[in-house]
Amino acid sequence: MTPAGPGAPNALAAGDLGRRLARRRNRLGLSREETAARAGVAPGYLQYLEEQPAAAPGTGTLLRLAEVLGTTITELTGGEADTPPGPGRAARHAEFTELSVQECRALLSTHGVGRIAVPTVEGPLVVPVNYSLVDGAIVFSTSPGTVPAQAAGCRVAFEVDRIDDVFSQGWSVLVRGLARTVTDPDEVRRLVEGSYSEPWAGGRREVWVRIELLALTGRRITV
């Protein structure tokens, strides 16, 4: 293992690098062996980097891995966690396309973090929520009195996106729908059991909101 040099990031939270390596590799459909071969490291060493929180590779290794994975050292080490996505310049030959309904549903997938726009007495407010896609509807849990809880009974907008700063490309999916509070105990139980994870914000989130999709559109920017 090459020790981290003076220019290597040294403020990693335990396991962050490994999780980001594995997530990026899986997103690209690369096996551990393929990634290791392209980066010029042993598969066992890449496994060590992905699974051991104390791993501290040198800058050279990080550079090669970032190149193979089409990203940057900053992104791999979490240096962009506190900055909004999309600071890079636009690509010279970008292509803008509309997504089909099927593609939009596939990108919504089964869970993630999206933003819901809620009409309130103070005007529309946009807040992030952890959501799941259940029976073709967007569902999330929240607390009474919060902005997401105020969506019940309203027409709302819900948006998810993915930005790749390295290649200046990405996609977005926009949902327009009618939100309602889930009150049936059996349905609530099914949502609790089938949800992917608890909200990242923590705390008690016992109010379930369901958004029935009325319109679904999406866009993609590729290079």
pLDDT digits (tens, 9 = 90+) for 99-156: 999 999 999 886 789 999 999 988 999 999 999 988 889 999 999 989 999 999 999 9
How does DSSP classify residue 4?
Answer: P
Separation in Å, CA 50 to CA 22, 70, 74, 115, 126: 6, 17, 17, 30, 35
CB 139 within 8 A of CB 177: no
Helix (H, G, I), strand (E, B) or coil at 212: strand
Q: How do residues 43-77 score in pLDDT, each as one tens digit?
A: 999 999 999 888 889 889 999 999 999 888 888 88
- Answer with the residue of higher pLDDT: 93 or 77: 77
Side chain identity at residue 60, one-letter code: G
Q: Tokens for 113?
A: 């973090």
- Domain extents for the chain? 16-76, 95-222
Q: What is the pLDDT of residue 202?
A: 72
- Answer with the residue of higher pLDDT: 198 or 40: 40
Reported pTM:
0.65
Please state which architecture CATH assigns to domain 95-222.
Roll (2.30)
Cβ atoms within 10 A of the Cβ of 175, count? 23
* pLDDT-based confidence at residue 2 (cuts at 50, 70, 90): very low
The residues near 114 (Cβ < 8 Å, ≥ 6 apart) are 128, 129, 131, 138, 158, 159, 160
**CA angle centred on 88, ends 84 and 94, rounded to 5°:** 120
CATH code of domain 16-76: 1.10.260.40
